[in-house]
Structure 1
Amino acid sequence: MRANFRMQRLYIDAPLAEGLTHETASEQFNYLINVLRMQESDEVLVFNGRDGEWKAALRLPSRKKLMLEMLEQTRAQSPLPDLHYLFAPLKVGRLDYLVQKAVEMGAGLLQPVMTQHVQGKITSLERLQANVIEAAEQCGVLAVPEVRAPVKLKDLLERWPAERRIIFCDEGDESHNPLPILTSISERSLALLIGPEGGFSEEERHLLHSLPFVTAIPLGPRILRADTAAVAALAVVQASLGDWR
């Protein structure tokens, strides 16, 4: 069942079942009551990443307290997508965009990777997770991806499970079309690796090309910014190997 985009959606970290009630956080209270001007008995959709999506009614036992009463399940819980997204951090504003788009495009796990030419850094995993939740709320996503702590590229590759193929976008590839390469991949457990704004170093490219569980792809004839490359790569992987088929 597709998401209902006519109703406001909220993520709450609490069990969801018929008849249960949940007190909203102060930020959610302010947004629903003061910004959206919602009232007693108005309805919203809520999800927690575990129990599916539920229709909930607003209850106002006092002027400063808002409860959500679960009425009925509207969608059953879906599993996390099996596409892992590995990315070199960008500067803050573009990093927020990159994380949100990865969730929208069907990444099931987000792993920051520190490369030799990386320009950004992860100052707060909580901020990244908040961006994940915001994207899930806005786009009807039920399974909330995990954000992992940053790891160095070499360390990541040393302990990588060989059964999950890494597709990495190689700006040094002389060809333009990724489709023939992608359609030749037989594995269904995949990870997509996007490098930093300055690209992978020659040492990193050599290492990646040497590993049997890594496949390099080009991304067309133009130079793409890292956040643009991320969306383009996610789209072409989902269309050829993922859940767009």
Structure 2
Amino acid sequence: MKNSSNRYLNPKEFLPEDEVHTLRQVFYLVLMSCFFITIFYSLTFTESDVFYFAIFDIFISLVAVMLLDESKFQNKILWLLIVPYGSLSYVLFGSTIMGWLDLIHIPALIYLVKLAYDKFIEYTRSNSLGITILLLFSIIFISFLITQIVENKNPLDSLVMVSNAFTSNGYAVLGSSIAGKINSIFLVWGGYIISGAGTATLTAAILLRHFNAGIKRLEKIIEDGGKD
């Protein structure tokens, strides 16, 4: 998407530039959180959620590989540590030694947490952006962890509850299936992002029309003065 010339894949076609910057900041923070969660569940997983964790582990490992510069030799070594051997063996063969094998790439995940944070700081500074989003994201992430503990919910249910609470849609789990819960998350955050874009676009349009009207009045005054 980043390298595509297709206008439908260009986020600036749909969102104001400021919001695009914010989403790119959030992208690095989300990655950092996903790496942290993977480390946490590699050490504390239970048999009831092994399959879903394995799928998540494989997916986030693929995303991690795309972050690394393949021209550097040390990154090629890091790739070997990022590979989720345990998760792959569980999904493909139903192996029960997943937990032990996943310990192999925990050091790589710790490094990736730092790498994602460094990229966030680099992007923020290079575009002269503020770090308020870091505070906001920290509140959401901490609430996500607290909800799991105090409400005794699994990660997906906790994420649904926090998403609903943050966007003022209540504090409940919407959906009874895995697919339904994931869909509700996309709807909540998608609606939140688009509503913000609509408000920003409408405000910009009103200000632009007011500014253009002011320019026309000024031009008319200058023209009238010139005639006098």
**TM-score range with shorter-chain normalisation?**
under 0.3
Structure whose alpha-carbon radius of gyration is higher: 2
| Structure with greater proportional helix content | 2
TM-score, L = length of structure 2: 0.26
